[in-house]
Structure 1
């Protein structure tokens, strides 16, 4: 059996993040071969990760990357906020966002080995979550916003605006981050959801004893409140609540938006 030096153990530990005794045992089994020992540790880590795969991963971090001509959001999921705030975890989600912005949504899968290594090191169920990439059309600008807590991104937004300024696009991204609309306009909501809500508010109005003749107006008023909660263009603008987002746009158009919130 090869002699296992403290230097080899330390080297393997730095490469894998595994515990000192785990590194020593792997090196002994691999007869001192660092690469073979690293492979052993990774296989064991993946085996452990398979056992953890059913555990809920409701925590995590989001990375946002904005490059000339493209922008991306990537979510990396884990089980605890302690792991989500780890330097290696945040560094990986930021790297994934840059890769996706540069090369496309499939680029995140190219770093699966790094995700697997993080599972081994941090001993949690870790996986790539939502991945979004925007390439603006000609004449459009992108707005972005990343809300951070304890050094990690937790709420990321991208919005594409045609015929508007970069300042407007940024203000809209900030609005979306805090107002959290589901869709752009009322007609984008699922028809079944709208019909169910309309039936519910009508039943409520009848149960409150509202006059039959007044029901259509009451129902429509309550549906407007429903739309304002869910539809971006109907929401009161956060910087001027006397106007809706649609009114603030003037001659500009919101083409699309995306929001990724940890745990959302």
Structure 2
């Protein structure tokens, strides 16, 4: 059966594939739309397999909240040109929307979720076939808390989510989410820093003191002072507030409500740091 321009246009709208790809798929499927879509999907799988060893270092990072549940999704690709494509961003958004609705507990569960009648993993392969680039679901993080906030930095390469122990005024919450974006803390407070990280920092501090010629019996005291400085730089609650460096984040929150604090945060970036 002859393939018409209307058929090609229709298939292109359905799949997002190029005009020639749609024409060739329709010809191969003898005008059958379901068959043509399957051909395009198989092409996507072939491209994905061929590009498996390529690096997907670009992409789109989006975040949102829904009734105390906040999520971040990062869909990765090879080039910024594709990352800025509206269909690629729309796919990232649809994956995020599905995460907000179903609250999967890990990235593998998110990949297997059904969106528009198909698993997320297959939708990504389809998009790979359309663009000709390797694509992968790079990151998925979530936070559940009585109150949550998200922040997406312009350019869709960096996003944060933060949970609080109680309702919080929007601008205050946003300030904290932007603090996480700007200062990249490793934990909420000093008690949340892994013990092995603390031990390593203490050892580094002792070694530095030795190199400075400090007496051996003074090393523990010196290292403890330096680990306190580490906590002030690396933990969210003790970091100096970017907008008002004379106070730290904990003091900023207490100025709003003496019981207000951060319960958790996540930060995802595709930028080199």
* Equivalent position SS for 2:157: strand
Change (3 A) 1:46 1:214: same
Partner of 1:93: 92
* Residue deviations 1:91-123 (CA, integer Å, cap 9, x gap): 111222222112212455323233222111111
Partner of 1:165: 168
Change (3 A) 1:236 1:35: same
Unaligned runs of 5+ in 2: none
Range that drifts further, 217-226 or 250-259 = 217-226
Partner of 1:19: 18
Superposition map of 1:1-264 within 5 A: 2-105=1-104, 106=109, 109-111=113-115, 112=120, 113-136=122-145, 140-149=146-155, 153-163=156-166, 165-166=168-169, 167-212=171-216, 214-250=218-254, 251=258, 252-263=260-271
How many pairs are equivalent? 257
Distance 1:200 1:68 in 2: 43
Alpha-carbon offset, residue 46 of structure 1: 0.9
Alpha-carbon offset, residue 197 of structure 1: 2.0
* Equivalent position SS for 2:153: strand
Distance 1:257 1:191 in 2: 19
Alpha-carbon offset, residue 161 of structure 1: 1.4
* Equivalent position SS for 1:148: coil
Distance 2:86 2:97 in 1: 17
TM-score using structure 2 length:
0.85
Distance 2:239 2:205 in 1: 20
Alpha-carbon offset, residue 224 of structure 1: 2.1
Distance 1:52 1:13 in 2: 23
Change (3 A) 1:78 1:145: same
Alpha-carbon offset, residue 163 of structure 1: 4.1
Distance 2:93 2:25 in 1: 31
Unaligned runs of 5+ in 1: none
Alpha-carbon offset, residue 7 of structure 1: 2.2
Change (3 A) 1:38 1:164: closer
**Alignment root-mean-square deviation, CA:** 2.1
* Equivalent position SS for 1:7: helix
Distance 1:34 1:20 in 2: 14
Change (3 A) 1:207 1:68: closer
Distance 1:201 1:216 in 2: 9
* Residue deviations 1:140-180 (CA, integer Å, cap 9, x gap): 3222211122xxx2221111112462233222111111111
* Equivalent position SS for 2:264: strand
